[in-house]
């Protein structure tokens, strides 16, 4: 008999056709969960599901635009039809394509369609998936909902105003879910992630930008997708049974210090001989 910590659990992971969502799905499957790979790109979801099944796991690919209620309802029905229940919901889906980044700017230059799209996918999508997945969790009196947020949800920045606002709202949505359904066995937490580039993301980001971000981490290097996925697995499992209504930060210390830290270190290095 297996003693894997997610044995018999059924997990829905949105935006899992690639990147951090796909890695989370792989890790949850390694821990014994049956995983539903949900993505607006059906072919990408199929590839991840096939990979997991090829390694002996149980996976279902579902194409779904999480901003469309009917599609979300049908997605959850498909998962229950295949696996019989829902125990874990990882609200990971977000829109952050190159085109979206270019349009999601500072407020006076905001493309309002980009604003609306960010809210539709990042926030409305998480609400809709929670609405239908939690209904299934309540039938069994147990469940873990994980909302993916970002340092941009708590720290102001020069651009990505819509993305940041949606990520801030997810923190409160997570707390609302925890407050509303905690006594019925449902836990809800936000996971504030730092920069853990997946696949070819390192190549798509300018090296000087990566250097700045790396310098501002309190770890030797940037994060990896596996490091984020391991935290997802913790929040999904009974290891975190007493953790709910909070935001767990996995960002290599990026958000924990004053932004002047790196510049001050450089100054101290230059003036160290003078006693600073």
Structure token digits, residue 124:
């409305």
Name the residue with tokens 């990505």: 160
Q: Where are the alpha helices (DSSP H) in the chain?
A: 19-30, 42-54, 69-83, 98-103, 112-118, 125-138, 161-181, 201-204, 207-215, 225-236, 261-271
Cα 257 from chain centre: 23
List the Cα angle 214/119/168 in 5-degree steps.
Answer: 50
**CATH second-level architecture of 10-271?**
3-Layer(aba) Sandwich (3.40)
- Minimal CA–CA distance to 24: which of 191, 154, 172? 191
- Per-residue pLDDT at 275 exceeds 50: no
Task: Write down the pLDDT at residue 66.
Answer: 98
Tell me 272's DSSP state. G
| Element (DSSP H or E) covering residue 148 | strand 143-150
* Entry field: residues in the chain: 276
Q: Which of 263 and 200 is assigned the larger pLDDT?
A: 263
What are the CA-CA distances from residue 235 to residues 49, 90, 155, 249 (Å)? 22, 10, 24, 12
**Alpha carbons 86 and 90: distance in angstroms, whole number:** 11
Residues designated catalytic = 163
Domain boundaries, the chain: 10-271
Give backbone dihedrals phi and psi of 60, rounded to 5 degrees, phi first.
-130, 130
Tell me 94's DSSP state. -
Cα dihedral 190, 196, 202, 208 in deg (nearest 10): 90
Residue 249's beta-bridge partner residues?
192
Give the burial class of 136: count Cβ atoms within 10 A of its Cβ; 0-12 exposed, 13-18 middle, 19 or more buried. buried
Residue 55's beta-bridge partner residues?
none
Question: How much is the pTM?
Answer: 0.93
How confident is the model over 166-200, as pLDDT tens digits? 999 999 999 999 999 999 999 999 999 998 987 65
Cα 158 from chain centre: 22
How confident is the model over 207-255, as pLDDT tens digits? 887 888 888 899 999 999 999 999 999 999 999 999 999 999 999 999 9
Residue 144's beta-bridge partner residues?
88, 187
Q: Cβ atoms within 10 A of the Cβ of 97, count?
A: 10
Task: Write down the pLDDT at residue 84.
Answer: 98
């Amino acid at each position: 008999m297996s003693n894997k910590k997610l044995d018999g659990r059924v997990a829905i992971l949105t935006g899992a056709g690639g990147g951090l969502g796909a890695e989370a799905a792989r890790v949850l499957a390694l821990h014994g969960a049956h995983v539903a790979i949900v993505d607006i790109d059906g072919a990408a979801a199929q590839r991840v599901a096939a990979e997991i099944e090829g390694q002996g796991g149980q996976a279902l690919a579902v194409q779904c635009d999480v901003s469309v209620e009917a599609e979300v309802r049908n997605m959850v029905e498909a998962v229950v039809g295949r696996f019989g229940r829902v125990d874990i919901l990882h609200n990971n889906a977000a829109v952050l394509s190159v085109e979206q980044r270019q349009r999601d700017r500072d407020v006076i230059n905001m493309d309002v369609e980009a604003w609306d799209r960010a809210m539709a996918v990042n926030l409305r999508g998480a609400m809709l998936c929670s609405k239908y997945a939690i209904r299934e969790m309540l039938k069994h009196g147990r469940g873990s909902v994980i909302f993916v947020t970002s340092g941009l949800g708590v720290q102001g920045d020069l651009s990505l105003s819509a993305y940041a606002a949606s990520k801030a709202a997810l923190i409160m949505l997570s707390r609302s879910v925890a407050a509303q359904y905690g006594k019925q066995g449902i836990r809800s937490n936000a996971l504030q992630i730092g920069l853990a580039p997946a696949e070819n993301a390192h190549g798509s980001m300018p090296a000087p930008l990566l250097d700045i971000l790396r310098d501002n981490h309190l770890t030797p290097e940037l994060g990896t997708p596996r490091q984020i996925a391991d935290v997802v697995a913790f929040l999904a499992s009974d290891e975190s049974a007493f953790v709910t209504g909070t935001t767990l930060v996995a960002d290599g210390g990026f958000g924990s210090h004053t932004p002047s830290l790196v510049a001050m270190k450089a100054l101290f290095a230059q003036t160290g001989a003078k006693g600073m």
